[in-house]
Chain A
Amino acid sequence: MNETVIKTQDLTRKFGSFVAVDKLNFSVSAGEIIGFLGPNGCGKTTTFRMLLGLLTPSSGNATVLGFDVIKDTDQIRQQIGYMSQKFAIYDDLTVKENVSFYGGVYGVANSAAIDACLEFTGMAQHSKTLTRELATGWRQRLALSIALVHQPKLLFLDEPTSGVDPLARRDFWDMIYNLADQGVTVLVTTHYMDEAEYCGRVAMMREGKLLAMDTPLHLKHQIVTGKAAEIACTDIISMMDWCENQPIVQKYSLAGNHIKVILQKGVRKKDLRNNLDKDGVKYDSVSAAEPGLDDVFGLLARSSKLAEINP
């Protein structure tokens, strides 16, 4: 099960003077679900495109399923599935015609295989529907069916759940788990933090660099060294001002109607309350909280910025 599916070495892509992906080094084993997390323009999609052989790396190299992404793209393509941000669907074809077309392109000609694929994604009931009449959630499933029609070993999903309602997202992730159970390796980009929690490992990217890559639990333990707490208060704005200048607060963020803070290592909730009282800042309560991947990302992003200023 631990065979290496993807391995990159200093994988880099520049567009003119802009470095979209900067010396990426990571490897992925068979059956893993890897989430790529980061803001728009952080290099997630460019990384995918290089691994898919859509873009040539400017320097460095990568192997996918043991094949070189620059030289052996043909061998790679037969075994990978790809779902792009814009669902690559023909609006004027029916659901089944879409899947049959891509099936034919992969050499999957028999109707039973197409039906099985539609069955897996729950699209069978819509197989005769014209695609332009489908709602976004169904379009997403169709795009997944297209990516799965040739039973790939490795699946690339580029923001598959953007614009899809939470219930459909949950169903979608059930299908991903199903695939991983069958030994399919899945790489998925997202900017939903809660979705990243579903992944086996999370790769955090910012400005073309890979900041960290580990399981959600490890990331939280290693990166978030201090305790997390929630401050409930009425005057949120002045509370944020206070947090900004508080040395014991590593990071703060707005979470619903309260403020979530990550304290410095070793600092306790009691110390926070004391400091608030000392400065005469009004608050309703301070309670314990769990650090999330957004906290991990915030802290990582800050330290990478600091590293740029003071290398």
Chain B
Amino acid sequence: MNSRLSSIIRKEFIQILRDKRTLVLILVIPVMQLFLLGYSTTNDVRNVALAVVDQSLSSESRQLVDAFRAADYFEISHSPASEDVLGELIDSGQAKAGMIIPPTYAQDVANGTAQVAFIIDGSDPTIAATSLSAAQLIGQNAATKILMAKINRTGGQILPPVEIRTTVWYNPDMVSAYFMIPGVIGMILFAITAILTATAVVRERERGTIEQLIVTPIRPWELVLGKILPYTILALFDTLEVLFIGHVWFHIPIRSSLILIVGISSIFLLSGLGIGLFASTIANTQQEAMLTVWMTLLPSIFLSGFFFPIEAMPGFLQLISYAIPLRYYLSIIRVLLLKGVGLSAITMDVIALTLFGIFIMGAASLRFRKRLD
């Protein structure tokens, strides 16, 4: 390695290691984010508080309530005496759903005309949607059971005409963390490389050292490479750290080879480094650099499918998402970790990611010239 490049790298490492506070942040923040997002961003709705007004108080109504109690979607939290009290419980948020069984329920069941009212608090759409489908499913099951019992009693024989047997692949228990943690890895890689690169370059401008560096024989590519290489290594270390904790603590499967994962992560790093470098050519202060990076960070997180599926977005947002490198990396890393397939299944995404990285790095390097004007 030439002495100019190795000098920059050595200096950069001394500075990183000497700034203990930043170093700790670089190493600890990813773990914090992992735990925070691993636990908080779960879509698994369980134990929704359900208030039941049973005006029938019959064995039939008790059977229905038991069916709801048995499913772990609901927890019978209250048994109010009247509809008015139920309304108050939902208003105050103590109950998220309510069921009203009319006094005539037992007779209606016998006549085949029974109706039960089910009320859902729609203020949280995720809870509401899950409650709705769960309530419908439990209700239909109960109805089928009643129907079959009736037919069997009259001496007939009946079996359900169609039975759907479902199998969930890759994540059979549908654990949200399996979906979130690969996303956390992508976000951390992107944020750390972009922010650190941008501030590291802008700091030189703030202190006036960039001017001194420009009058030396150092070449622009040596300066750029020497500044970003140490942060690349840190970011890759963070990747392995998050992967390790994700695997040990959250039991995320790692079904592809680690070398493939690290290799593709390195390609993805090009985009983060490029955006950081680009921000540093625009910004004059470290604060400006941070804000510029943030401006790319937020759309990256929301449009990459990190939290919400891209398929559910309006058409134009889906189009924009193609311009977001994190999108490609997320779909790659999720496939690599959960499905354990080889390179062939993710070729298009890898090509897109590589092109993006080269494009952004190229554009940033062109802007980063060795003159002040």
Contact with B along A80-115 (1 / 0, CB 8 A): 101011111111110001001111111101000000
- With A82-B215, A86-B208 given, is the CB distance from A104 to B372 under 8 Å? no
**Per-position contact with A for B1-29: 1 when CB-CB < 8 Å, else 0?**
00110111011001100110000000000
CB distance from A142 to the nearest CB of B (A): 12
Contacting pair B14 A97 (CB below 8 A): yes
- Is B217 touching A74 in the complex (CB atoms < 8 A)? yes
Across-interface contacts of A93 in B (CB, < 8 A): 11, 14-15, 18
Is A126 close to B, CB under 8 A? Answer: no
- Contact among B11, B217, B370 with A97 in the assembled complex (CB-CB below 8 Å): B11
| Set A54, A92, A107: member contacting B371, Cβ < 8 A | A54
- Find B7's partner among A52, A54, A55, A104 (CB 8 Å cutoff): A104
Indicate if the CB atoms of A78 and B217 lie closer than 8 Å: yes
Closest residue on chain B to residue A91 by CB atoms = B207
Q: Are A105 and B209 in contact (CB under 8 A)?
A: no
- Say whether B113 faces chain A, with CB atoms less than 8 Å apart: no
User: Could you say which residues of chain A place their CB within 8 Å of the CB of B311?
Assistant: none
On whether the beta carbons of A146 and B212 are closer than 8 Å, the reply is yes
B-side interface mostly: helix
Give the docked Cα–Cα distance between A89 and B19 (Å): 16
Band of interface residues on A: 20 to 34
Q: Are B209 and A88 in contact (CB under 8 A)?
A: yes
Interface: B213 (CB within 8 A):
yes
Interface residues of B, count at CB 8 A: 26
Q: Judge if B216 is at the interface, Cβ distance under 8 Å.
A: yes
Knowing A54-B371, A92-B15, the reply to whether A109 touches B3 (Cβ < 8 A) is yes
Q: Does B373 contact A (CB under 8 A)?
A: yes
Query: A-contacting residues of B (Cβ < 8 Å)?
Result: 3-4, 6-8, 10-11, 14-15, 18-19, 207-209, 211-218, 370-373
What 5 A-B pairs come out closest when comparing CB atoms?
A104-B7, A88-B212, A86-B208, A88-B209, A101-B11
Beyond known contacts A52-B215, A54-B211, A101-B7: 14 more, CB 8 A cutoff:
A49-B372, A54-B215, A77-B216, A84-B211, A85-B208, A87-B208, A91-B207, A93-B11, A93-B18, A103-B7, A104-B10, A105-B3, A105-B218, A107-B3
Provide 17 A-B residue pairs closer than 8 Å at the C-beta atoms, listed in order of the A residue. Answer: A49-B372, A52-B215, A53-B215, A56-B371, A82-B212, A88-B213, A90-B11, A91-B207, A92-B14, A92-B18, A93-B14, A97-B14, A104-B7, A104-B10, A105-B3, A105-B4, A107-B3
